Amino acid sequence: MNINIEGLVSAFSALGAGIAVCSGIGTGIGQGNAAGHAAAAVGRNPGAKGDIMSTMIVGQAVAETTGLYGLVVALLLMFVKPFN
């Protein structure tokens, strides 16, 4: 069995990219949780809908950055080859 360093780096890059994309799971759970709580808050106090929605949008944008960072890391690991 002949293992070269380029093949090993490519294999671990693919593994790391798969793990990095898994950050989208936490992003989806966090955004769904925020939307659910915002909907419940608007149901309790419809007069504060504007404040609740603007706060929810900012919170979801912050949560989304984690998923985007994971995607960027995955793309870098898959398409930036250190030996070429």
Supply the pLDDT for residue 6: 84
Tell me the helices (H) and strands (E) count for the chain, helix number first: 3, 0
Query: What is the average pLDDT across 27-38?
Result: 92
66 token code pair: 């984690």
Phi and psi angles of residue 22, each rounded to the nearest 5 degrees, phi first: -65, -10
Contact 76, 40 (CB under 8 A): no
Percent over 90 (pLDDT), the chain: 60
CATH of domain 18-78: 1.20.20.10
| Cα separation, 77 vs 12, whole angstroms | 9
Torsion of CA 71, 61, 42, 34, to 10 degrees: 40
Confidence of residue 84 (pLDDT cuts 50, 70, 90): low
Query: What is the average pLDDT across 75-84?
Result: 80
Domain boundaries, the chain: 18-78
2 token code pair: 């002949």
